[in-house]
Every structure is written in C-alpha cells, then in structure tokens.
Chain A
C-alpha cells in the first residue's frame, strides 16, 4: 500500500531542485520588493537635494548707490513713498557699465537687478536718514533670470530668442563678475521674507509663521481634549454599546480623507461661524479635528499599557477613581501620550488639502502677526510655488520641501528619543 522508504526518498529528492528554485525566486522577490521602497527613498532624497540645494544661495551684485538729495528729499524732506529709488539703482548700475547706451539697452541692463534692490535702498535711508547725500555700497540681489544664469540653469547655446537672458546681458554679467562686483552668497531672503511674485525675493517666513500658529492652536486644543477623551473612554466609560460606537467612530475618523475635514471646516467654521478665511485660527481648528482621533488612539494605548496592579494598589489605599487616574495612571502614561501627540502634530504639519478648502491658497505677502491675520502654511506654500512655471521657483519649492522635511525629521526624532528614554520595563 504505502511506497517503500526508498521510493519515497527518491521522490522527495527528485522534487528538491525545483522547490529550491522556487524558494530562491520567492526570497529574491521579497528582497526586490523591500528594495523598491528604499530605492525610491534614496532617489527621492537625492533629487530633492540636487534640485533644492542651489536655492539656498543667491546671486548678488555690488553697487555704489549715490543717495542723491535731490532725488530722495526734493522739498528738503525725505520722501519715502514716491522717491525714485529705482532710478538711483539704475544710475549705480550704469556707473559700472558706462558703455551701455540707448534706451532699449539701458532697459535691458536694468533688468539684471531685482526690483527688491529699490526696496533695499528705501529701507536703508529710512533707517539711517543721516546717510543722505553719501554714497553707500550695497549688495543687492540679482534678478532671478541672472541668478539662474549664474547657477548654470540656462542653456547659453540656445538661440537668443528662446532664452530668458539676452547675449548682451550675459556679456554685462560677465564683466561685472570680472570686476568682482558679482557674488553668490547665502540666500537670506528665503528665511526672512514672505511670499513674493519675484522668485529672488520669495521666502518662507510667512508660511513658517502661519504653520507655527496653526500648530500652536492644534496642540493647545487637541492634546488636552484628546487626553481627556482617552481617559474617559479607558477609565470611566461603562462598557456598553454606546462606548463601542464611540470607539468605532474614533477609529473611522482617523481614516477619513483629510479633504473631508476641509469641507467640514468650510461649512462650519467659515460659513456658519463666520470666522475669517485663511486665518491660522481656522486652520488650527480644522487640524485639531483631524489630529484628535490620532491622539485619542495613542493615549488610549498608553493608558492601557499601565498595569492594573498600580491602579489596584492605589484603590486599595482609599483613593477615588479620579485620584487614581490623575495621580497615578496619567503620569505613567504621559510619555506615550506625548509621543502620540508629537506624531499627530507632525502629521498635521504636513497637511495641505484641508487648508486649501478654508482658503489658505491666497497670495499672502505679509508675515502673519496673530491668529486671525490671513496666512498660509508651509505645505500650502510648497503647493503654490510648485504651480509656478519659473525655474527659480522650482528650486525654491525643493528648498521649502527640504525645510519642511527638516522640521518633520526633528519632530519624529524627538518622539523616538522620548519613547526610548521613557521606556519602562514594568
């Protein structure tokens, strides 16, 4: 009936090579799959840094600006509103390249300098009116086209009509460089300015402040409420159908698409409660609703991890349930809760879809000063800049992404360190 031992062994041996091959293939597939994710990460970061690193530098021109009294203070008084600062800049530029003549050529020349140069002159004389009549040497930003040229992003071999910089401009820039009047330095505008139509003047400060305000609102609201809800659900709520429903509800909210929260914010906060659009307050409220389920789930897990023996000991000493929770359970669960909160915050920091719904897509130049000033958020700023066709904005978008990822890495590292340090072996 049964095959003899020998035949069985032969059959087994016969099947082995094919099975070994399958095993090998399967293992290879597994390794390949794991490599896909990691490879993507590598390619992604490499391209990000390659694209964005150059945005941290900006080309500047050194000009000797004559702070002409007649131009700046025609009636004897300093006219900050209407004085021709631009003219002073153009004059200084023409001093460096005196051979340029003709109206069209001169106009082309003036376009190698950023419009921000005239703001710089105005700010200088506004802060130091005593400099009137003197000649000051300023480093002013070059226009974004020239910046791209210097960074090598413009193909000089293209036909002139197809390029954003003309041959003459290339020549002028070349001679400025030879005379030492051109330098590439750290692009401080990226961190000190708000958004701008000109790439060379565009910065992320407004977006960062907006994000910061929103995160503050989110933290202040979602952490206490989330912890309170978790405490109630874990410690006090009777185990009945109602509390089961709440638990299912919370788990589902954590998985609802974020754009739906944006719709909720639009309908309730903007339309019904008439809160100001684009305000960090509203953004914070929407993000709070989004983050709340995450914090509740994490806090519940942290509370569950506290051994019942500690509760029993406290109860045995005559503590009320509220006292047990607040004096014993909460402090022990706090590290886990904080870790969950940090992770929730980092998720909130990266959200942009719900913010689009409540109006944060506007072009905001000023840095917000309060919770109700119109503002934008860093991920939304990235979204807006990504839409710009200009090459200079492309590199700045990558730079802004690097900054955003930097914040996220710091936050997550903090969470990991917190978790490691507070890990207790019960």
Chain B
C-alpha cells in the first residue's frame, strides 16, 4: 500500500475515533444536556481518542519509511553472490543505484545481467512485503491505541489538559525545526568540509593562491592534480562586493535621507513601493540582465575610454549587484534615521541649521550605528549572492583588483563544482562544501553583528 493511501486511511480512522470518543463521553453522562458533568467539552474527549489513534501510527510510519531503504538494501547486498561482496564502497553504491533504477523501470547504464535482474526483482518484492507489513502494523497499532484511549474515557478524565499538552508539544517541535535547520546546516557542511580537509590541507585552502580544482577520473589522466588555494576566490568575492557597496551605500543612504527628510508624502508614496519592487526581482533575472545588457555596455564604454574590458567583468556583476542591494540599504538606513528622536531634529533646526546641516551634523552621527549595521547586512547579502555572479562573472580564478577583468567568486565555484555529474567523494565536490562552510561562517558573523545593531534601533523606535 502506498504511503499516501496509508496516511489517508489513518486520517479516516482518526476522524471516526473523534466521533466515537465524543459520543462515548456524552453517553457516560446521559446525553447532550448533561455535558457539564464532564471535566472538558465532549469534543476534547473526541480529540483525545483521535490523537491516540493517529500519532503512534504516524510515528511508526515515519520511522519505517526512514529505516526501510537501509534494511532492504542491506538484505539485497547480502543476497548477492560472493564475488560482489568484495566490491569497493563506490562501486557497491553504483550497483545498488542500478538495482533500484532497474526495479523502478528506468533505464540503467550497464548491461542487465541475470544477477542484476534477480536483485532487482528481489528488491521489488522486499519493498512490497515491507509495505504490507507496515500497513498491517500501523492500522493495528492505531486500532489498539484507539481502543485503549476509548476505554479510558471517564467524566473525570481531564481530556482538555491532555489534548492541550499534545498541542504544546507539537508547537515546541515546530519551533525546534528552526534550530535543527541551523544545526543541520552546520553539521552537514562541516562534515563534508572535514572530509575535504582530510584530502587537502587547510593551509593550502586558506592561503593558497592557485585555484584549479581537478581530480583524476582515471588514474593516468593528464593534468590530474588540482590545487585548491581559495585566496583568488576570496579576493574575487571581495572585489565584486566592494563594487556593489560603492554603488549601493551612497545611493541607498541618500535615497533614505531624501525620502525621510525632503520628499513630500506623495513622492514617498510612489518611491517606496517602487523600491520594494526592485527588492522583489528574483536574482536570476538580475543575472540575466547583467549578462545580456549591462556587461556588453560596460565593455563598450570601457573600450571607448581606452581600457581593456573582459566580457564578464567584475564591474558589470558588481554594478548590478549594487543596484539589487540599494533597497536593503535604503530601508535599513531609513529605520535608523527615523529612530533618532525628533527632539534632536527640532533642537538643531531651532538653532538655525539648514536641513542638510541637521542631517549631516546631528541625525546621521546619531543614527550611525544603525546605518553601519545595515551596511554589514548588505555586505553579507552581497557575499552570499549567487545567481548574478554565476551568470555575469567569470569562472576562472583570477587574483586581481582590476574591476575590468573577470574574476570568480566563492558562490560561483560552489555552483560549478556541484552542478553536473560528479562522484560524491572526490575532492572536487567536497571542496564545494569547504567553500560553503567559509561562506556560512563569514555571513553568520556579519549577520549576528548587523542584526543585533539593527534590532536595537528598531526596538528604540517601537
């Protein structure tokens, strides 16, 4: 039986259980009119039984589905003839994949021999049996638990409290998912990165100047040794980020100042939504625009001025990234400026300052921490940006500070290393996780500082 069908069946059982439970509670006190004799509303007794029916069985289902693949695969592998037992881990993996694909009816890459065919049909039959057992167990468990709960129904049973406790546990579980996500990110990235650092020393990665990630597919392949010095990636990221900040910070800050201090309510009403739209454009679209329109334009303009400009210049990618970040800088600066008490502004104006003097000498210095926090968040965003650079920046590592040349960034390399057919264990793919670890750590650091500063200002305002 399919999982979805089983879940539906359990759902139906739970609904039936609800009505049964509710009815039982009422019947125990003599019908609808005597509901007050019950500790909780009759509905809660219904929920009580329904929860007992649904939860244990669903838990079993989840556990089963998670463990099932491993057990079945282990059984299949054990059932293979002797010669297959001595295969390497990678080859075994491939074999198992082929068996699974064959069983699913897909096309596989090797010839189908008898052993494979047998294994595949065994696989299918094991799965079938497993699902049948699961169905029986789950329904049985649901029924058993349900009747147990049904029998416990009693006017003094504090059904509402129990149900609410279950609800609370569900809420806690939901909140924990956020923690688990972070833990998951850290562990998964860290795990693979450690495996990478077992193949390539940390010092080479952090300080090496040569990035050409190759690993041998065949042992005698020419050019098989790769170097994994990530410094050109860091500098490339920094170059493009710097260009983006040079665009975004002045423009974003002055926009915030203009909208906060000078513009009429009408202009504010038009400009702010337009900036929101700018913030909502997907980055892949920005990347397309950068590659198709901005990069050729930059190249033409640069060459007309006498410079040699690559077609995937850092300048093009940085410009577009800067524009994408303008709304972020503008809105965070706006928050910081508005958080400065208006008494400060009145005091300065009362002394005869012009509006620009008030802004530059009184308000901006007071709002500076908030603005800097906003800039940190913007830098973090720029560092982590992927699509714009994948589409508009280069692929070759280049250690340079010249914005007209093509550079590559950490995010571009993560994508390049993982997109396409790779063996999962090679240093090449693991390098992507090492880069991911660096990215996560740096942006986490920037975010923590930036967010705490910005939050302080938002609280002040509220």
* A touches B in complex, CB < 8 A: yes
Is there contact, CB below 8 Å, between B258 and A251?
no
Judge whether B354 is part of the interface by a CB distance below 8 angstroms: yes
Please tell me which one of the listed residues A47, A232, A386 contacts residue B174 in the complex, with CB atoms under 8 A apart.
Answer: A232
User: Which residues of A are found within 8 Å of B170, using beta-carbon distances?
Assistant: 228
User: Which residues of B are found within 8 Å of A361, using beta-carbon distances?
Assistant: 419
Is there contact, CB below 8 Å, between A30 and B254?
yes
User: Which residues of A are found within 8 Å of B262, using beta-carbon distances?
Assistant: 27, 30-31
User: Which residues of B are found within 8 Å of A44, using beta-carbon distances?
Assistant: 281, 289
Q: Which residues B153-200 have CB closer than 8 A to chain A? A: 160, 164, 167-168, 170-172, 174-175, 177-179, 181-182, 184-185, 188-189, 191-192
Q: Which residue of A lies closest to B165 (CB)?
A: A322
State the CA gap A233–B357 with chains docked (Å). 44
Interface centre among A231, A259, A289 (most CB of B within 10 A): A259
Judge whether A237 is part of the interface by a CB distance below 8 angstroms: yes
Is there contact, CB below 8 Å, between A253 and B284?
no
State the CA gap A179–B356 with chains docked (Å). 70
State the CA gap A99–B283 with chains docked (Å). 52
Q: Which residues A9-56 have CB closer than 8 A to chain B? A: 12, 19-20, 22-23, 26-27, 29-34, 36-38, 40-41, 44, 47-48, 51
What is the count of residue pairs linking A and B with beta-carbon distances less than 8 angstroms?
A: 245
State the CA gap A232–B167 with chains docked (Å). 10
Do A22 and B354 form a contact, CB below 8 Å, given A252-B444, A255-B381, A386-B292?
A: yes
State the CA gap A194–B183 with chains docked (Å). 38
Interface centre among B160, B191, B259, B292 (most CB of A within 10 A): B292
Do A256 and B185 form a contact, CB below 8 Å, given A27-B356, A233-B175, A404-B282?
A: yes
Judge whether A148 is part of the interface by a CB distance below 8 angstroms: no
Is there contact, CB below 8 Å, between B185 and A232?
no
Please tell me which one of the listed residues B177, B326, B452 contacts residue A229 in the complex, with CB atoms under 8 A apart.
Answer: B177
Interface residues on A, range: 35 or more
Judge whether A379 is part of the interface by a CB distance below 8 angstroms: yes
Is there contact, CB below 8 Å, between A249 and B184?
no
Please tell me which one of the listed residues A20, A31, A36 contacts residue B326 in the complex, with CB atoms under 8 A apart.
Answer: A36
A342-378: CB near B (< 8 Å → 1, else 0) gives 0000110111110011000100000000000000000
Judge whether B387 is part of the interface by a CB distance below 8 angstroms: yes
Please tell me which one of the listed residues A20, A29, A252, A258 contacts residue B182 in the complex, with CB atoms under 8 A apart.
Answer: A252
Please tell me which one of the listed residues B160, B418, B448 contacts residue A266 in the complex, with CB atoms under 8 A apart.
Answer: B418
Q: Which residues B286-302 have CB closer than 8 A to chain A? A: 287-289, 291-293
User: Which residues of A are found within 8 Å of B253, using beta-carbon distances?
Assistant: 33
User: Which residues of A are found within 8 Å of B432, using beta-carbon distances?
Assistant: 263
User: Which residues of A are found within 8 Å of B92, using beta-carbon distances?
Assistant: none
Do A351 and B384 form a contact, CB below 8 Å, given A30-B255, A229-B175?
A: no
Is there contact, CB below 8 Å, between B354 and A296?
no
Is there contact, CB below 8 Å, between B380 and A383?
no
Judge whether A183 is part of the interface by a CB distance below 8 angstroms: no
Is there contact, CB below 8 Å, between B171 and A229?
yes
Judge whether A293 is part of the interface by a CB distance below 8 angstroms: yes
The contact sample of 14 A-B pairs, CB cut-off 8 A, is A20-B354, A31-B258, A38-B274, A225-B177, A229-B178, A249-B179, A256-B447, A268-B184, A268-B188, A356-B419, A357-B419, A382-B284, A386-B287, A404-B285
If A260-B440, A322-B164 are given as contacts, then 11 extra A-B residue pairs at C-beta distance below 8 Å, sorted by A number, are A22-B354, A22-B357, A30-B254, A33-B251, A228-B171, A236-B171, A237-B175, A252-B444, A259-B384, A260-B439, A404-B285
